Amino acid sequence: MDYAVHILTMIAITGIAAVSLNLLIGETGLVSVAQAAFAGIGAYGMTLLMLHAGIPFLAAALFSALIAGAIALIIGAIFLSLREVYYVFGTVGLNMIVWAILLNWDSLTRGPLGIPGITRPEVLGISFADNTAFLILCAVVLLAVFAAHYAIMKSNFGRVLHAVREDEEAIAVLGYKTEVYKIVIFVISAALVAFSGSLYATYLSYINPSAFTVNDSIFILAIVILGGLGSAYGAIVGTCMLVGAFEALRFIGFPASIAGDMRQVFYGLILILFMLYLPRGLFGKFRI
């Protein structure tokens, strides 16, 4: 049971990141491979605020999400001119640079030694030190993010995003400032995934740059592709499958020495096969 609780918690946290990425890729067509970087900014921001400034979890997490959003604002503006594949490369570069900073700015982040001792949150008097309680917290946040996604997409704002997806030039001609929309959704997405980073940090009680690499961003990308573009539900299902099924692989009997590589084989296959035969993913409304 404990194991199930753990896996579900990881699914919830990763699910938040996946839903936030869907806002970018699925709804707006911005293929970003930098979610892990913003998760890292959220995680480290929250941790430093909590440990050095004594700020309680919720405030620290919200504040670090704001910081991530601010950084996304600047980056989003800088990356406006990048299109398609170049945008992808730009985000890869962003992730690499953020990761390098987390790794090498010793004095702030302790580099590869990471930051231990992150306590579980106490929100509104309730302590979440118990794993099951924490899972419920994560599930609640996931639900909130899901609701936010739904709200955004049902609104006018969401409709413009879809239009940007389909034909950016057309909608720009109609007078919509597409740059603003793209930056705003980038900021929102970054803030959401940053919050998931804070949850991650407080769950494991220890953070380390190894959790925020380009490979982690690619993993979330694979989830969104699997789940389907344009569907938050798909993102969550995709998360369940990739995280849950991969864990299940442990029990199938692959020797542990290649299990890690077998997972990579599967997930490489997913990327290839889905692009070839199921570009819409499982529940997607759009294809890349």
Which residues in the 75-104 window bind other proteins by CB under 8 A? Answer: 78-79, 81-82, 84-86, 88-90, 92-94, 96-97, 100-101, 103-104
Nearest to 111 by CA among 31, 189, 27, 207: 207
Is 143 among the residues that bind other proteins (CB under 8 A)?
no
| Segment interacting with other proteins (CB under 8 A) among 135-143, 148-156, 163-171, 250-258 | 250-258
Nearer to other proteins, 5 or 55 (CB): 5
Of the two residues 2 and 124, which places its CB atom closer to other proteins in the complex? 2
Under DSSP, is residue 242 helix (H, G, I), strand (E, B) or coil?
Answer: helix
**Residue 51 interacting with other proteins (CB under 8 A):** no
Query: Residue 147 or residue 245: which is nearer to other proteins going by CB?
Result: 245
Do residues 209 and 102 make contact, with C-beta atoms less than 8 angstroms apart? yes
Q: How far apart are CA 154 and CA 156, in angstroms?
A: 7
Strand 115-116 relative to strand 206-207, pairing = antiparallel
Distant-in-sequence contacts of 262-265, Cβ < 8 A, 24+ apart: none
Q: Does 24 bind other proteins (CB under 8 A)?
A: no
Question: In whole angstroms, how close is the CB of 175 to other proteins at the nearest point?
Answer: 26
**Shorter beta-carbon distance to other proteins: residue 98 or 191:** 98
Tell me the Cα Rg of the chain: 18
Stretch that binds other proteins, among 134-142, 170-178, 183-191, 275-283 (CB under 8 A): 275-283
User: Which segments of the chain are extended strands (E)?
Assistant: 115-116, 122-123, 126-127, 206-207
Q: What is the DSSP letter of 131?
A: H
Please tell me whether residue 237 binds other proteins under the rule CB under 8 A.
Answer: yes
Closest listed residue to residue 67, CA positions, set 46, 50, 47, 95: 46
| 37 interacts with other proteins by CB under 8 A | no
Among 52, 56, 112, 174, binds other proteins (CB under 8 A): 112
Q: Map the footprint of other proteins across residues 157-216, applying CB under 8 A.
A: 204-208, 210-211, 213-214, 216
Candidates 113, 126, 147, 180; binder of other proteins (CB under 8 A) is 113
In the list 58, 77, 271, 278, the residue contacting other proteins (rule: CB under 8 A) is: 271
- Site for other proteins (CB under 8 A): which residue of 51, 244, 278, 285? 244
Count CB neighbours of 110 within 10 A.
Answer: 16
C-alpha 46/C-alpha 33 separation (Å) is 22
Instruction: Kindly give the pairing relationship between strand 122-123 and strand 115-116.
Output: unpaired
For CA atoms 186, 190, 192, 193, the dihedral sign is positive
Closer to other proteins by Cβ: residue 156 or 251: 251
Q: Which range of residues in 46-54, 134-142, 177-185, 263-271 is near other proteins by CB under 8 A?
A: 263-271
Size of the site for other proteins (CB under 8 A): 82
